[in-house]
């Protein structure tokens, strides 16, 4: 479970990005963070990754307050939380297989485990046939699916997605969502920041709406413009 308890985030320039944020996300949930640009969505994801620290309040993951862990423990936290960005950040000189394998190589996994894990991740995002291609040979949607495979290859229980469909056309965006749904059905908790109204309304999942750093709506199942 992920819990935010009375979380405030004020940046050094005086901007209050989050104000008194409280919510819970259950294990295996699929949650959309919605709201206009500057509402606080990305800040919330950065706090979960400990890229930023809270001004005050608690963030609990499976009962552990991650705001109090030492810098030495942050890599351990990040092994349990994967991230997909809007820009896929692939390594141009590595193949699809090598891009996905890279994270496991850093962790010192055996070649056998890497091969099995990468093949499984590529199968989930339907890119097995592209494993020997380079990023320059892929479409935008394919590149984003590679970034998703790279994020899930270590089987982290939490996946954060920051506008993963933001640069894609509607049809390609739905291909990305199908991959994320499949990942969620395997038990991964997904927290996705998005402006994609059509996706949120069609999915009818847990929606947390932010406005100027405050939660204005938190519904277990609904759409972007769900009424109170």
pLDDT tens digits, residue range 104-163?
A: 998 889 999 999 999 999 999 999 999 999 999 999 899 999 999 999 998 999 999 999
Calculate mean pLDDT across residues 35-39: 88
Q: Is the pLDDT of residue 49 over 80?
A: yes
3-state secondary structure of 218: strand
Q: What is the DSSP string of 131-198?
A: TT--GGGS-HHHHHHHHHHHHHTT--SEEEEESTTTTS-HHHHHHHHHHHHHHHHTT-EEEEE---HH
Q: Is the pLDDT of residue 228 over 60?
A: no
Question: CB neighbours (10 Å) of residue 84?
Answer: 25
27-56+71-222 classified as CATH 3.40.50.300:
yes
**Residue 167 tokens, joined:** 């640069």
- In angstroms, the CA 117 to CA 131 distance is 13
| Domain regions of the chain by residue span | 27-56+71-222
3-state secondary structure of 77: helix
């Amino acid at each position: 479970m992920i819990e935010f308890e009375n979380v405030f985030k004020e940046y050094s320039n005086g901007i209050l990005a989050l104000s008194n944020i409280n919510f819970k996300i259950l294990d295996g949930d699929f949650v959309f963070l919605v709201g206009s640009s500057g509402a606080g969505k990305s800040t919330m994801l950065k706090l979960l990754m400990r890229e930023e620290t809270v001004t005050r309040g608690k963030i609990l993951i499976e009962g552990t307050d991650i705001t109090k862990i030492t810098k030495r423990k942050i890599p351990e936290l990040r092994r349990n939380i994967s991230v997909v960005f809007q820009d896929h950040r692939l390594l141009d000189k590595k193949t699809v297989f090598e891009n996905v394998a890279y994270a496991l190589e850093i962790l010192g996994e055996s070649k056998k485990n890497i091969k099995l894990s990468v093949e499984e991740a590529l199968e989930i995002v339907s890119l097995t046939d592209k494993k020997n291609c380079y990023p320059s040979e892929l479409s935008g949607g394919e590149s984003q699916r590679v970034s998703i495979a790279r994020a899930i290859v270590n089987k982290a229980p939490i996946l954060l997605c920051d506008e993963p469909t933001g640069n894609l056309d509607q049809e390609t965006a739905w291909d990305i969502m199908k991959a994320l749904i499949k990942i969620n059905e395997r038990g991964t908790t997904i927290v996705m920041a998005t402006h994609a109204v059509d996706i949120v309304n069609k999915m009818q999942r847990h929606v947390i709406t932010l406005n100027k750093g405050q939660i204005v709506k938190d519904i277990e199942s609904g759409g972007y413009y769900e009424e109170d």
